Amino acid sequence: LPTVNPDGRDYFLDNAGSGARTGHIPVDSDGDGLFDEDPPNDLNGNGVIEQIRKYTPGAGNFRESEQDPRIMVPVEPGSVGDWVMLGSEGIDDDGDGRVNEDPVGGYDPNRNYASDWQPNYIQGGSMDYPFQLPEARAINDFMVARPNIAGFQSFHNSGGMILRPPGSAWYGQYPSADIRVYDEIGETGERMLPYYDYLVIWRGLYTVHGGSIDWTNDGLGIISFSNELWNGGQYFNSPLLQEQQSGDSPISGQQSRYFFDDLLEFGDQYVEWAPFQHPTLGAVEMGGFHKLSGRVNPRFLSMELFHRNMAFTLYHADMMPMMSMGETSVELVSGDLYRVRVDVRNERLIPTITVKGRQNNVVRPDILSVDGDVNIVAAGWVTDKNRPGPTQMIDQSELDRILLRSGAPGRHTRTIEYLVRGSGSMTVEYSSIKGGTVRTTVQLR
């Protein structure tokens, strides 16, 4: 899978329409038995799906803005205008009296994942069952085959957000230990990415059922974020921005977009209103912004946006669990009986097993194993190796292969203590699916 949505990406780049989100399996969006038969039409052949307005003196519900006549403003209740807005460029291809109602595709690959998947009448675009769509299925198959993946980072078009799951309110709160991990990474991201807000999807954006980062968190036990890359606040990275929000300012409200395109993009993203003879609407005017405008960053700002998001992604990756072995000690108790202590540490923020991953049984327990010519009499966790005190005994039948269902918490050192009989060398190994495998060897003497 070269990209998460290859068909949508290619269509967006190669065609006038802006349907980048959907894939291209034909869907009957309007329920008439036909598939993808009424998309937008580039009637004037300029490569842009424009907006249509019609001049209707004294009989319209829109007027031209006093600040900029390119901007159409709804009239006040009880007033009339000289213009009506007639939607996007197109015609009634299938003759059902509607325009542009059945475009290419019509589903959402990012609503087709298994966690909190809901049918179409609840979550539009979800299709008939989870992982029905090849795009979602390919991503899932890749990740399921690689259970060591410990971080997931998704990138979307615009909004200026660092989003974390869950996507719907009914799910409730994530476990507090998991939230602490999310909060530290997300709040650091806010400092790294100007104009970005760290948000929970359902609370800060909208409800999402069957989203990818819900699935990677709940179904695969992976700390997951989705970054909405472009934020309109970046148009005017200046302290004057907040001072110039009055209605007559050239960078207030809708005017800011035109101001930016005129002076910083030299009109590259806007098509001026121009007369056109529409086949059914008659004399109209068409114009508006290109499909890239507002959806993705202006090209001259790409380097900073990409660099900052790359840096955040590397920071997220650097927080993935990384196990290490620390201090060891061997004490002769009597005869061939030894007390062996080994420090085991997770160097990074993210635990080897998230609480949600453990609750859902989707990550193999960590394994603490012993190899050598020894017989393990007892094993337990040392409460405080610097002070005398009780050891938390481990009640498992195979002490040479201890299962740790909660894994290793982030930035935390634990000391395992063994009472063993034997001689020679003894190797202690910590194996974690997401935190790696480390080992150390001590000599019993």
State the alpha helices, DSSP H only, in 15-160.
134-144
What DSSP letter does each residue of 369-387 carry, written as one string? EEEEEEEEEEEEEES-TTS
Report the candidate in 363, 409, 368 with the shortest Cα–Cα distance to residue 149: 363
Question: Tokens 């078009």 — which residue?
Answer: 157
pTM of the shown model: 0.92
- Could you tell me if 398 and 312 are in contact, meaning their C-beta atoms sit under 8 angstroms apart? no
Residue type (1 letter), 233: G
- Burial of residue 45 (CB within 10 Å: 0-12, 13-18, 19+) is exposed
Look at residue 105 in the predicted model and tell me its pLDDT.
84
Instruction: Output the CA–CA distances (angstroms, integers) from residue 132 to 29, 107, 128, 384, in the order listed.
Output: 17, 11, 7, 52
Gap between the Cα atoms of 108 and 178, Å rounded? 28
| Tokens matching residue 265 | 């993009």
Look at residue 124 in the predicted model and tell me its pLDDT.
92
Q: Where are the beta strands (DSSP E) in 304-411?
A: 323-334, 337-346, 366-382, 391-393, 401-404
Look at residue 114 in the predicted model and tell me its pLDDT.
97
Contacts of 288 (CB under 8 A, 6+ apart): 48, 50, 51, 270, 271
**Domains detected in the chain:** 128-230+297-320 (3.40.630.10), 323-444 (2.60.40)
Residue type (1 letter), 13: L
Look at residue 220 in the predicted model and tell me its pLDDT.
98
Strand order in the sheet with 62-64: 72-74, 62-64, 81-88, 51-60, 282-289, 270-278
State the alpha helices, DSSP H only, in 170-297.
176-192, 201-204, 212-220, 255-264
CA R_g for the chain: 30
Look at residue 387 in the predicted model and tell me its pLDDT.
85
Strands 270-278 and 282-289: antiparallel
Contacts of 235 (CB under 8 A, 6+ apart): 251, 256, 257, 260, 264, 298
DSSP state of 365: P
Look at residue 404 in the predicted model and tell me its pLDDT.
98
Instruction: Output the CA–CA distances (angstroms, integers) from residue 47 to 17, 41, 43, in the order listed.
Output: 8, 10, 9
Gap between the Cα atoms of 229 and 295, Å rounded? 9
Ranges of the chain whose pLDDT falls below 70: 1, 18-19, 239-247
- Could you tell me if 301 and 234 are in contact, meaning their C-beta atoms sit under 8 angstroms apart? yes
Report the candidate in 352, 355, 326 with the shortest Cα–Cα distance to residue 407: 352
